[in-house]
Amino acid sequence: MTASTSSETERTLTSDISAAPPVSPTKEGELGRLSDLPDFRTPPVSEVALGIQFDRLQEFQLVHGGLLWERYRSAFPRTEVHEPIDPAFETFGGRQQPLQFQFRIAPMSLIPRFWYLSEGGNAIIQVQPDRIVRNWRKTAPLDSYPRFEALRGELEGNVNTLCQFAKDEGIGEIVPNQCELTYVNDIVVGDIGADRTENLFKVWRNVGDNLSGSVEDVSFQWRYIMRDKATNNPIGRLVAIAMPALSLEGRPLIRFTLTARGAPAITTLDGALEFLDTGREYIVRAFAELTTDEMHGVWGREI
What average pLDDT is seen over the chain?
A: 84
Residue 1 covered by a domain? no
Higher pLDDT, residue 249 or 37: 37
The parent domain of residue 256 ranges over 10-101+109-298
**For residue 303, is it within any domain?**
no
Query: How many structural domains comprise the chain?
Result: 1
Tell which residue, 226, 211, 183, has the closest CA to residue 38: 183
Pairing of strands 220-227, 10-12: parallel
Query: Starting at the edge strand that comes first in sequence, how are the strands of the sheet with 220-227 ordered?
Result: 10-12, 220-227, 234-246, 252-262, 176-188, 45-54, 131-137, 123-128, 113-117, 78-82
Helix (H) or strand (E) holding 275: helix 269-290
51 in a structural domain: yes
Q: What is the CA radius of gyration of the chain?
A: 20
- Per the domain annotation, does 3 fall within a domain? no
Whether 193 shows a pLDDT value over 70: the answer reads no
Using CA atoms in the order 74, 76, 77, 82, what is the torsion angle rounded to 10 degrees?
-150
Please tell me the pTM assigned to this model: 0.85
**Domain annotation covers residue 5:** no
Helix/strand/coil percentages in the chain, nearest 5: 25, 30, 50
Report if residue 216 sits inside a domain. Answer: yes
Render pLDDT for 264-297 as a digit per residue (tens, 0 to 9). 999 999 999 999 999 999 999 999 999 999 999 9
